[in-house]
Amino acid sequence: MDNKNEESRILRGMTRDGSARILVIDSKKLVNDMIATHHTAPTASAALGRLISAASMIGTMLPEEGDTLTIGFMGDGPAGHLLAVADYFGNVKGYIENPKADPARKPNGKLDVGAAVGAGTLFVGRDHPGGEPQTGTTAITSGEIAEDLATYFAVSEQIPTVLSLGVLISGDGSCLAAGGVLIQLMPYPDEETVAKLERNANDLQAISHYFRDGKTLSEIADIAMRDIPYDPFDTLEVSYRCDCSADRMKAKIRSLGKEEVKKLLDEQEAEGKPRELTAVCRFCGKNYTFSEKELMA
């Protein structure tokens, strides 16, 4: 069944003993909307697709509505920098510096996301309106996204985390299946539950293959929680959504200062162009053009 146009969803649950929480995302539509926005090559699609899938899940763990999550991979690979920004509801947007990055495949034929991302650092930032932003950083360990973020949580936030992400790209460049499983231990977990979670994590197959084969969010959660009583408490519909606006873009240009804005306008005029400036949103590609009067008012 082709569910390309079905909305992406996240299932959230908790073990009955309070030892761990689980999130499962079917992110196929998120990834296809991202591909349509950025016109990414297959490996770039897999890299950014994994990142926005993870960010969407992690975003739903933000403490308050209005908070935002930003995850950035600052690698030295051909993909350049990757960014994902998610809100409290799991809606997400993403950016990749080089959407055409597509290094040679691995010997097993799989897309080499690690080679596309390269070595460097990753950061996770949380912003609360009116509050101080919180940011943590770690080294990129593999560039495969899931392993890097699990390491980040363990090292920077001291939260033992299992994270599995998968994006399956078809021959025509579209996403056939995509998703992820995120499990995090809560404080003072039961040792027997932890042992079962570790066993189940080791037994997990490629997440994208579960979705390709038609498994539901609940069925995948059941696999990850085998022999562990747990309760799913809600399912959220999430989307690839950019919140850019003309006012926000104009404010960014104005923040350069009137002298710099005038210099840019003069350069436009010297090239025989109208005295106006255009800003392009890097997350959705939308253009915003402002006249001199609008910018200098």
What confidence tens digit (pLDDT) does each residue in 48-100 have? 999 999 999 999 999 999 999 999 999 999 999 999 999 999 999 999 999 99
What confidence tens digit (pLDDT) does each residue in 237-249 have? 999 999 999 999 9
Quickly state the pLDDT bin for 130 (edges 50, 70, 90).
confident
What is the DSSP secondary-structure string of 213-278?
Answer: TT--HHHHHHHHTTTS-EEEEEEEEE-B-----HHHHHHHHHTT-HHHHHHHHHHHHHTT--SEEE
Read off φ and ψ for residue 20, nearest 5 degrees. -155, 155
- The mean pLDDT of 286-297, rounded to a whole number, is 91
Quickly state the pLDDT bin for 5 (edges 50, 70, 90).
low
DSSP state of 36: H
Task: Give the pLDDT score at 6.
Answer: 84
Residue 157 has pLDDT above 90, yes or no: yes
Total Cβ atoms within 10 A of residue 193: 21
List of residues 6+ apart from 74 with CB closer than 8 A = 81, 120, 121, 122, 123, 140
Maximum Cα–Cα distance across the chain = 72
- The mean pLDDT of 262-285, rounded to a whole number, is 93
- The mean pLDDT of 221-238, rounded to a whole number, is 97
- The lowest-confidence range among 6-10, 94-98, 131-135 is 131-135
Task: Give the pLDDT score at 44.
Answer: 98
Query: Percentage of the chain with pLDDT > 70?
Result: 98
Of 64, 60, 35, 37, the residue nearest 50 (C-alpha): 35
In the block, residue with structure tokens 């090559």: 41
- The mean pLDDT of 203-208, rounded to a whole number, is 94
Superfamily name and number for 246-296: HSP33 redox switch-like (3.90.1280.10)
Which option is the CATH number for 8-238: 3.90.1300.10, 2.60.40.420, 3.55.30.10, 3.40.190.10?
Answer: 3.55.30.10
Q: What residue type is 278 in one-letter code?
A: T
Exposure string of 45-80, with b = 16+ CB inside 10 Å and e = fewer, is bbbbbbbbbbbbbbbbbbeeeebbbbbbbbbebbbb
Q: Are 187 and 62 in contact (CB under 8 A)?
A: no
Task: Give the pLDDT score at 103.
Answer: 96
| Alpha-carbon span 284 to 264, nearest angstrom | 24
Query: Percentage of the chain with pLDDT > 90?
Result: 93
- The mean pLDDT of 160-176, rounded to a whole number, is 97
Task: Give the pLDDT score at 3.
Answer: 46
CATH 3.90.1280.10 residue ranges for the chain: 246-296
Task: Give the pLDDT score at 15.
Answer: 98
CATH 3.55.30.10 residue ranges for the chain: 8-238
Task: Give the pLDDT score at 1.
Answer: 36
Q: Which of helix, strand or coil describes residue 130?
A: coil
Task: Give the pLDDT score at 111.
Answer: 96
Q: Average model confidence (pLDDT) for the chain?
A: 95
